[in-house]
């Protein structure tokens, strides 16, 4: 199936099965995760178009931290599935914009799926991301600046493009050929050594002095490079 992917974070097998059937019938591809830990792993592996999270799986105290971590790993909108009797007013305490919508699980599955579709349409019509924040690293996409602990990093245009591409999907390994195109375009791209040199500079600027034990950028020999997810408190 080539339709948009919906990651369902749901521990109720009955509801997960019903939603999966309706999603499939509507040309969408359901991906299932039974715990929040599974979800974070699948977000990195599958790159879903939307995340539907059963609020019954986490406390409100943990929800904000989970949403921050999801934001670091994916631009996909998040829709909360509320347990019966849950007061949606409580969600006002969450950071603005962290949740695209909240839907009661008591609604008919087809109604829930339509709300998910609406959230995807709104996200696709939204404004581009202005910046990426990964712990102490901030990427100002409009100003083309990278700051680490508030200090601007001296990067070439190609190095900045590469860092931004890696930062959009922490935990994902990008192939060397793809990164060469990102950094230098499709017209007469340089040899692979240019990519390795640029990554060496990025590692140096980020303070990754030991390639064997990287904190930021990991190289997969013969494959590509990956920006490691950062813990956010």
pLDDT tens-digit series, residues 18-53: 888 888 887 888 899 888 888 888 887 888 889 988
Determine contact, residues 31/74, Cβ cutoff 8 Å: no
Q: Which of 76, 102, 124 is the last residue of a domain?
A: 124
Quick one: tokens of 60? 């409100």
Rounded to 10 degrees, the C-alpha dihedral 174/43/148/219 comes to: -30
Lowest mean pLDDT across 55-64, 103-112, 208-217: 55-64
pLDDT for position 136: 86
pLDDT for position 158: 92
d(CA 218, CA 161): 17
Claim to verify: residue 94 and residue 146 sit in the same structural domain? no
Claim to verify: residue 158 and residue 201 sit in the same structural domain? yes
Q: Where does residue 142 rank: exposed (0-12), middle (13-18), buried (19+ CB within 10 A)?
A: exposed
- Sequence-distant (6+) residues with CB within 8 A of 87 are none
pLDDT for position 163: 93
Q: Which of 72, 89, 124 is the last residue of a domain?
A: 124
Claim to verify: residue 95 and residue 172 sit in the same structural domain? no
Query: Could you tell me the pLDDT band of residue 14, with boundaries at 50, 70 and 90?
Result: confident
Q: Please count the structural domains in the chain.
A: 2
* 177, part of any domain: yes
Claim to verify: residue 153 and residue 218 sit in the same structural domain? yes
pLDDT for position 109: 81
pLDDT at position 77 over 90: no
Claim to verify: residue 39 and residue 143 sit in the same structural domain? no
Claim to verify: residue 146 and residue 105 sit in the same structural domain? no
Instruction: Specify the higher pLDDT residue, 231 or 115.
Output: 115
Return the beta strands (E) in 135-182 as ranges: 137-140, 145-148, 151-152, 173-175
DSSP element (H, E) containing 30: strand 29-33
Inter-residue long-range contacts of 69-74, CB under 8 Å, 24+ positions, other chains counted: 69/40, 69/229, 69/232, 70/39, 70/40, 70/43, 71/98, 72/133, 72/134, 72/170, 72/229, 72/230, 72/232, 73/40, 73/43, 73/44, 73/169, 73/170, 73/171, 73/229, 74/43, 74/47, 74/48, 74/169
Claim to verify: residue 196 and residue 108 sit in the same structural domain? no
* 232, part of any domain: no
- Sequence-distant (6+) residues with CB within 8 A of 59 are none
Domain containing residue 143: 132-227
Instruction: Specify the higher pLDDT residue, 172 or 175.
Output: 175
pLDDT at position 92 over 80: no
Q: Over the stretch 141-162, which tens digit does the pLDDT of each residue have?
A: 778 889 998 899 999 999 999 9
d(CA 9, CA 33): 5
* 104, part of any domain: yes
Claim to verify: residue 53 and residue 160 sit in the same structural domain? no
pLDDT for position 233: 41
pLDDT for position 4: 85
Claim to verify: residue 92 and residue 60 sit in the same structural domain? yes
pLDDT for position 107: 79
pLDDT for position 38: 85
Mean pLDDT of the residues in the chain: 82
Most confident of 60-64, 94-98, 151-155, 188-192: 151-155
Determine contact, residues 138/146, Cβ cutoff 8 Å: yes
pLDDT for position 101: 83
């Amino acid at each position: 199936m080539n339709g948009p992917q919906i990651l369902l974070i749901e521990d109720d097998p009955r509801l997960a099965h019903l939603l999966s059937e309706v999603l499939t019938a509507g040309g969408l591809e359901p991906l299932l995760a039974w715990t929040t830990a599974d979800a974070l792993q699948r977000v990195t592996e599958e790159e879903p178009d939307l995340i539907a999270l059963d609020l019954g799986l986490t406390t409100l105290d943990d929800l904000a931290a989970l949403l921050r971590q999801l934001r670091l790993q994916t631009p996909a909108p998040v829709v909360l599935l509320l347990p019966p009797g849950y007061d949606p007013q409580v969600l006002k305490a969450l950071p603005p914009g962290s949740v695209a919508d909240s839907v009661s699980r008591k609604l008919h599955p087809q109604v829930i799926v339509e709300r998910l579709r609406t959230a995807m349409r709104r996200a696709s019509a939204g404004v581009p991301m202005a910046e990426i924040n990964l712990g102490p690293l901030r990427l100002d996409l409009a100003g083309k600046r990278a700051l680490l602990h508030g200090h601007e990093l001296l990067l070439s245009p190609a190095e900045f493009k590469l860092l931004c591409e890696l930062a959009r999907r922490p935990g994902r390994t990008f192939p060397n050929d793809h990164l060469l195109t990102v950094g230098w375009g499709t017209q007469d791209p340089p040899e692979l050594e240019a990519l390795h040199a640029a990554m060496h500079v990025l590692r140096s600027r980020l303070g990754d002095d030991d390639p064997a034990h990287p904190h930021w950028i990991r190289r997969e020999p013969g494959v590509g490079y990956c920006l490691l997810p950062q813990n956010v408190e």
